[in-house]
Amino acid sequence: MRRFIAVNQWLSKATENRQPPKFKRQIQILYKYQVAELLNRWPGQIVLDVGGGKECPFLPYIDAIDAPHTHLIIALDISEEELRRNPRLDHKVVADAAAHGLPFRDGSVDVVVSRSVFLALYDHCYFSTIKYLLERNGFTSMSFTLLYYQSVYFNFFYPLFILMLGYDLIASMLGIRNLASGIIVTAQRPPQET
């Protein structure tokens, strides 16, 4: 069985290597670079990392020598145990981000970042619904990075990998935004008038 899986993974990897680099981008890699880019724009931001648990993967890419102290970075996670595993941050909050109301005043945070932490309600996590929810809640200056490469999850069985790769390539070439397998969202809410 191990050999069977190894051969399938080898075939999948050989096929993956023939795909255009832009197509096979990984969401977790793009995420950490995009967050670092946001934080590198100006120092002294208050950053809330929702689901910051055991690591904040963007920290090594912030342009400061002592990144966690250039900004006030607060890791928020539902698991106290996970937060204890994050040695690079001094500010940690145990809370349920899905609950109504976080333990922060409105407008007290400059940047909120999060990656793959919320319960996925698959009837609400596609491009048009995310865009609608952001607009409805006053967000502007939205940008979306759409990714279509999910076939990599099926590399253990080459026929399934190829079938999924065909689906991914067609959805990508046709630009069907609601079929993106991953979305990185950057949105800004205009300052509230006081």
Under DSSP, is residue 141 helix (H, G, I), strand (E, B) or coil? strand
Q: How open is the CA angle 188-120-35, to the nearest 5 degrees? A: 35
Q: How would you label 100-131 residue by residue, b for 16+ Cβ within 10 Å and e otherwise?
A: eebeeeeeebebbbbbebeeeeeeeeebeebb
Distance CA 72, CA 90 (A): 9
Structural domains of the chain, ranges and CATH numbers in brackets: 1-25+120-189 (no CATH), 40-119 (3.40.50.150)
pLDDT digits (tens, 9 = 90+) for 24-40: 888 889 999 999 999 99
- Spatial contact of 31 and 68, defined as CB atoms under 8 Å apart: no
- Spatial contact of 171 and 148, defined as CB atoms under 8 Å apart: yes
pLDDT digits (tens, 9 = 90+) for 45-81: 999 999 988 889 999 898 875 656 688 999 999 999 9
